A and B are shown apart, each in its own frame.
Chain A
Amino acid sequence: QVQLVESGGGEVQPGGSLRLSCAASGFSFGVYPMHWVRQAPGKGLEWVARLSHDATSVQYLDSVRGRFTVSRDNSKNTFYLQMKSLRPDDTAVYYCAKDSINWSVDFWGQGTLVTVSS
């Protein structure tokens, strides 16, 4: 069965950096685009970024473009989110999600909490 396990969250000061990882199993990772979606405490869902299966095509939310970078290692079945210049409004649970090919996401990880605070 599909499993997505995020890690790397924690508390960081404004302006700091953090790298999130998403370990995937139970499907052919190298075939599917992957996404990051976040949820601020008590708030709704916000799509953050998408990376194609071969890492040649990427899309970002405007508010993170230039600060966040997505990447993947298909040999390790792992998806990453490098976050720099973090701001308090980046505080959220970050979910990785598997693309379902037909322009949607069908499986989500359990999420990892990122807290940006001084």
Chain B
Amino acid sequence: DVVMTQSPLSLPVTLGQPASISCRSSQSPVSTDGNTYLNWFQQRPGQSPRRLIYEVSRRDSGVPDRFSGSGSGTDFTLKISRVEAEDVGVYYCMQSLHWPWTFGQGTRVEIK
């Protein structure tokens, strides 16, 4: 199975400051069609996951533009330009090219 490794696992951030989460995959999620099937999900406390980003950098409708995704090959990053209180939660990367689809361990974002 493809192993997704996130870092850090815990990220205390000051309100208004940027945050960055890294995700590394043991196999590239780049398809023969040229697309890269790397996604980011947010799970707020007590809620279901919500997709933020798909195909590395495509933001879902309604997702604030302070969230951005980047990367290529096997290294990917989710950035929050200015953390707000509503951003508290756990963030997961997921590769969706190879079966079984696999998630990273999750990165817990909290306010300092």
Contacts and interface: CB of A to CB of B under 8 A. Distances in A.
A61 interface: yes
A102 B99 contact: no
The bracket for how many chain B residues form the interface is 20 to 34
Interface in B29-59: 31, 35, 37, 39, 41, 43, 48-51, 54-55
For chain A, what secondary structure do more than half of its interface residues adopt (helix, strand, loop), or is it mixed?
Answer: strand
B48 A111 contact: yes
B3 interface: no
Q: What is the interface residue range for chain A against chain B?
A: 20 to 34
Contact of A108 (B31, B49, B94): B49
A104 B95 CA distance: 9
Interface of B: 1, 31, 35, 37, 39, 41, 43, 48-51, 54-55, 60, 90, 92, 94, 96-97, 99-106
Interface of A: 37, 44-47, 50, 59-62, 95, 100, 102-111
Given A47-B94, A102-B55, A106-B60, 6 more contacts: A45-B41, A46-B103, A100-B54, A103-B37, A104-B55, A108-B50
